[in-house]
Amino acid sequence: MPKQKILVVDDEEDILKLLQYNLQREGYQVRCVSSGEEGLAAVKAGRPDLVVLDWMLPGMDGLEVCKLVRADKDVKNTPILMLTAKDSEVDQVLSLEIGATDYVAKPFSVKVLLARVRTIFRNQISRAEGTPVVRAGELALDKERQIFSIKGKPVPLTKLEFKILSVLMENPGRVFSRDKLLDGAWEGEAFITDRTVDVHVKSIRRKMGKSRHLIETVRGSGYRFAEERGGRR
């Protein structure tokens, strides 16, 4: 199987060396560049499988690179993992809303970053294969049959609850604002307010029992599904 190609865009040489070393140890093919302009050109020319992109680049910053990638029909589906030194959750949510697939805040744990990379690639494979079941520990979400189960035992969810849980479970670690959850879960539904999201999340948590903690509230930003801890699945 060909190695997956990762492009790293960061103006800090130490970060580039750290990521190149650790990503190569994981078996990925890695290319590093130090500016937004170089990064954008490398995405278009090299067609990487993933871009690890620093937000705070001199000149063309990471947000602008992300926007331009998403606007290019040839590379718009390239996954982008944003690195950000901004500690505001609002800024982190902004990076997702302009098109980043996920984000990692600086200073970051290499183990966490590698887990995020694996999750992105795992989700890509699942979508390509049409895998209908999303799993997290003892939880399973069968999208084809519209069944949610805990330890193999079906747990009834409403149509809207199933949609919101699908959005969260398919993107572990990613923060979704209420607006984003409305976009992802309630497309085509009747008018629903932001606060209705809270009501449905509360109901989902109740039905999840001991696993309710996996849906985390991010104060001032929205909700996220707890990402895997530890090594590979």
Residue 233 lies in a domain: no
Closest CA to 100 of 56, 50, 57, 60: 50
- What is the tens place of the pLDDT at every residue in 73-107? 999 989 999 998 876 667 777 887 788 888 888 88
At residue 11, the pLDDT reads 95
Q: What percent of the chain has pLDDT above 70? A: 87
Q: Which residues contact 161 (CB under 8 A, 6 or more apart)?
A: 200, 203, 204, 207
Q: 12 and 109: one domain?
A: yes
Whether 39 contacts 9, CB under 8 Å:
yes
Average pLDDT over residues 4-25: 96
Q: 167 and 201: one domain?
A: yes
At residue 110, the pLDDT reads 93
Residue 57 lies in a domain: yes
Q: 118 and 143: one domain?
A: no
Instruction: Tell me how far apart the alpha carbons of residues 202 and 148 are, in angstroms, rounded to a whole number.
Output: 16
Q: 195 and 147: one domain?
A: yes
Residue 231 lies in a domain: no
Higher pLDDT, 58 or 131: 58
Higher pLDDT, 68 or 127: 68
- Find out whether the peptide bond into 48 is cis, omega within 30 degrees of 0: no
Q: Which residues contact 209 (CB under 8 A, 6 or more apart)?
A: 150
* 3-class SS letters over 183-218: HHHCCCCCCCCHHHHHHHHHHHHHHHHHHHHHEEEE
Whether 139 contacts 153, CB under 8 Å:
no
- What is the tens place of the pLDDT at every residue in 110-129? 998 998 898 888 777 655 55
If one counts the domains in the chain, the total is 2
Instruction: Tell me how far apart the alpha carbons of residues 202 and 204 are, in angstroms, rounded to a whole number.
Output: 6
CATH of the domain at 158: 1.10.10.10
